[in-house]
Amino acid sequence: MVEVVEAALPDKYENMSEWYSEILDRAEIIDIRYGVKGFVVYRPFGMTIMKNIIKLYEEELEKTGHQPFLFPVVIPEKNLRMEKEHIKGFEGEVFWIEKGGYTPLEERLALRPTSETAIYPIYALWFSSYKELPFKGYQTCAVYRYETKATRPLLRGREFLWIETHNLYFTEKEARDQTIEDAEIFYRVTTEKLGIPFIHLKREEYDKFPGAVDTYAFDTLLPDGRVLQIGTTHYLGTNFTKVFNVQVHDEEGKLVNPHSTCYGIGLSRILASILLVHGDEYGAVLPFEIAPIQVAIIPIYKSGYSNEKIDKYCEKIYSELKGQGFKVVFDNSEKTPGEKYYYYDMRGVPFRIEIGPREVDTNKVTVFRRDIRQRKTIPYEKLIEHIQKEARDILRNLREKAEKRLRENIIEVNSKEELIKTYREHGRKIYKVYFCGRKECADEIKEALDGLETRGKPLNLEGEGPCIWCGKPGHICYLAKAY
């Protein structure tokens, strides 16, 4: 049999865009050939990863008291227009439905760009007393935005998957505390379970979610030096509850507007981040918990040795792993071992078990670990313990490597001249500066430095100093190019 040799992948750091396109195609994550710009098809392997990611977030949300619901995808135009700042921020990105069949609709309907204007009119019907609060609800759904910039699969599209929470609280403190809990939830899943580090930022006043009092964002670093917003949480105050007449009676029977928050987990972008941050020259590298295939068993047949004996030993291993709840395949197809190695490497399968005559005769197994590309031969009876231990170490390794790269790509600069010089030398990095918070300075920086943006104030850092651009009093801020 002639072994098929695929072309090597491009260098992820030198040509991220081409590397990423190849991974999406070769690993069968998505198909971009749907024929409508900004819309993609999730292939079975990619959608299984996505379902596993969703499960992690939904479980964490429900542990913290969030209840699932699902609202319609269409929003009446009058609802969307009720909160003026909100519609001003989204109107240019809305998909409108104007006909039902051949009949013009009496009122245009918007495809959900986000759900505040769909949900709050119903909250006004659901709640009447402070005793019914807090209420914490979430939905996992697709949202639609007519993205006018260049689209890029999973990173910037016109349809994308996310989880959004919409919570009501009687007091401002409770609502603000929720934005802290949101960040903790995000860390427990995104970093601790998926190995993706992020910087936690308070967006500048001019860069808030439309209608929010305060916006907090989670940005991660991609291989090309740009950052990607993968989640946000917003304290909305009473802006939406007032507009949509959401009122509850307080202890004295007086009607008041509760405080609200919303929290968006960018599922499509998180999937992209996992591929981009952890992947290597051989393909995707997946954390064990979300891998559709966690272990692939590959028989290595040798002439003069019984294939049936090898298969029987592989089937024994398969049954043992399956019985322990692992997602495992036994690939005894007619492909060569090299073709199988390529196939499972490209898809980021965490472990490969290679079984030949030597393993059968000695009652051992050879285990290949995908992230560090190392083989280890161990006794059969140690297999389950080995997989469990090494699975935890895969996650630790992926997380530590990503955190190290994030730290190494943050550069502190202290003057306008130093920023310009450092940016010209190093290009796309995250720059730690002092910034006055004025949009005028942000616009000038962006124009002068090829799109370098103010991303906001890091929540874990305090400090004051002169703005790097104008010299006025400022706070610590991160600058970066973003998707």
* Residue pointed to by tokens 């502190």: 412
Indicate the range of 3-12, 77-86, 338-347 predicted with least confidence.
3-12
The predicted structure's pLDDT at residue 83: 75
- Across all residues in the chain, what is the average pLDDT? 96
The predicted structure's pLDDT at residue 92: 86
Angle at 136 between CA 132 and CA 141, to 5 degrees: 140
Positions of CATH 3.40.50.800 in the chain: 295-390
The predicted structure's pLDDT at residue 68: 98
The predicted structure's pLDDT at residue 82: 86
pLDDT mean over 384-392: 98
Tens digit of each residue's pLDDT (9 = 90 or more) over 146-166: 987 767 999 999 999 999 999
Task: Look up residue 81 and give its amino acid.
Answer: R
* Residue pointed to by tokens 């002439």: 303
The predicted structure's pLDDT at residue 147: 84
In whole angstroms, what is the distance from residue 370 CA to residue 280 CA?
A: 10
pLDDT mean over 276-290: 98
Tens digit of each residue's pLDDT (9 = 90 or more) over 317-368: 999 999 999 999 999 999 999 999 999 999 999 999 999 999 999 999 999 9
The predicted structure's pLDDT at residue 352: 98
* 184 close to 281: Cβ distance less than 8 angstroms: no
Positions of CATH 3.30.110.30 in the chain: 410-480
Tens digit of each residue's pLDDT (9 = 90 or more) over 431-466: 999 999 999 999 999 999 999 999 999 998 999 999
Q: With H, G, I as helix, E, B as strand and everything else as coil, classify residue 245.
A: coil
Positions of CATH 3.30.930.10 in the chain: 16-278
* 31 close to 45: Cβ distance less than 8 angstroms: no
Buried residues in 125-162 as b, exposed as e (16+ CB within 10 A): eebeebeebbbbbbbbbebbbebeeeebbbbbbbbbbb
Tens digit of each residue's pLDDT (9 = 90 or more) over 306-315: 999 999 999 9
The predicted structure's pLDDT at residue 88: 77
Bond before 258 cis per omega within 30 degrees: no
CATH number at 16-278? 3.30.930.10
- CATH architecture assignment, domain 295-390: 3-Layer(aba) Sandwich (3.40)
CATH number at 410-480? 3.30.110.30
The answer to whether residue 1 scores a pLDDT higher than 80 is no
